[in-house]
Chain A
Amino acid sequence: MKHLISVQDLSRTDTLHILDTARELDRVTNGGIKLLPTLRGRTVVNLFYEDSTRTRLSFERAAKRLSADVVTVSAKGSSLSKGESLKDTALTLNAMGADMIVVRHPSPGAAHRLAHAGWLDSRVLNAGDGKHEHPTQALADALTIRARLRPEAVDFDGLTIGIVGDVLHSRVARSNIFLLASLGANVVVIGPPTLLPVRIENWPCTVSYSLDAALPELDVIMMLRVQQERMNGTFFPSELEYSRSFGLNRSRAAALPTHAIVMHPGPMNRGVEITAEVADGTRSVITEQVANGLKVRMAIMYLLIGGDVSVA
């Protein structure tokens, strides 16, 4: 593996190896060694064309914990905001000797282009490309599900995972559907047809338009953020109608099996797709997702540019 662009590039073995590595790195860092020397002397560039707090911070912390030199370039206050092309930015970063570029970009395929257009030699890690993919988020979610529901098992056979809401515009949903299905989970996508991609029935998932009907079957429910700008347009009549049909509130949470967990990739619209009560409730693993995000990002950086340096 040279780059991580799409979860569809990962074999089941690759995925399990990343998850195992994340667990191992976690064990080592929790053992009192806060920093690992693994990436000492390596340069990781976080290239963020979109605003982001949690993902950018998570990548920065992951790189620093592995002792890499970290440079973050954000769209605001840099040449990116002056309209410099992706290619020219790539050539610049390459000339400066970046070992890895972590890129978030609004255009689907931007990470793929960086990796394969011949602009640079660095490893490329996709931190979200438009509506396409966000592979590290899906790996974090898989790690979370594994820790909670399948601590001993190898894969997710027998688990039913519901992904609810705006799949059409969600890179998190795309990466999760393909990754979780590849691990053996039964993925159910739930939302209004206006927010589901056409022909999604051909993806490795089933489709439901009724959240209430699906709830009793779900071991995991993953709520997607609904962008405000989608709410009052042609995708959905109103925020209120969305909440009534697809919002996760206390009574819906009560209809889940007792062992079920509630996930959200963040940032949340409290009161829209999820109520504060459920988001902060005992079933919620939302903060664990954040913590696991750090672990899988460390694992991927280690595997992509850590070379043959041993973990311990």
Chain B
Amino acid sequence: MSNVLRKEAAVTDRQAIRNPDTADAADAAQESAYVLEAREVTKHFTVRGALGRTSVVRAVEQATVRLKPGQILALVGESGSGKTTLARMLARFHEPTEGEIVLRGEPVSGSRRARRAYHSEVQLIFQDPFGSLNPLHRVRYNLERALRLHQPQLDRAGRERRITELLERVSLTPTDEFAAKFPHELSGGQRQRVVIARALAVEPKVLLGDEPISMLDVSIRLEMLNLLQRLRTEDGLALLYITHDIASARYLCDEIAVMYAGQMVESGPKEEVIAAPQHPYTKLLIESSPDPERGVDDREALFAGADELGEPPSLIDPPTGCRFHPRCPFAMPECREQAPPRTELGNGHWAMCWLHTKGRAGELAGTTHAEATAARRRTLEGAS
């Protein structure tokens, strides 16, 4: 822990030196405890149906994300939960409908110049390494272009030096050989490393990785996770790791935030969230994830009651109250009527669930989603 703090302090110092116009260095240190924040951001998309009817997709509602230097936050949830939209707001591809994006304590503005300055600090890595490199140009050109745009002070020789450094950084050696290759000559893992090298070319403070390993072969995913881990420890990068793979999130990150149907439902230190989830949806997600260690001994129990787990709701007409209530085996009348308040559980762990305000949170630990669903069905049948 102290190690992390020291790292943070070191990074903050560096930032203070780089920003001489900040009047008070101590102030800057305070501000940059978080390098990038999304403060209660909401994104609604208007879509037009085939018959000309418009409807509003409530993709993200009131989501808050805070990234610290040298820290990795995993954002997990099913597809359609809003994690990519949130990342795109953080990358400024989408303007939030409400709320603001804050870079080192300063809300960001929309001007062109501000945008470029922003992208020299915050870089996004996409899922598909095949689609994100220009296929007509060699690796050298792909990297050089980022350097020309974001490091105009470098001359030709300087850029060439940087390219070598970057390729070494992502272990693509011999660098000369890799710089001269076209993207199609590289494997998926090598391509994704070029994408990461290009993101690093601008010396960002924050990397946003939208499922950066999900299209890679299993045997090379670990290399990529280890590389991201190294960038965090050695360069003090802040990383938002978006994934649906909870085991890889646990391997890489410090904290986990869980999204469901456009809302953040729980966030906290990874081991706490995984070992003792405090929201019924987190619980369902973790119980559904494959775990080789849990293994092969009792398959019956592993899949018991998993026949009907339900599906996420439409974001055009989301459920009232807590959006998880139609699938939740613990749902109470208030869950249908009112969105749950956020309950702080200490140690930076919080959850948005009525169970906590009603003193029923203990029920989460003693059962599984499937068992709780079956028990609820029995009660309902008994009552009718």
A and B from one assembly? no
Instruction: Spell out B's residues near A (CB within 8 Å).
Output: none
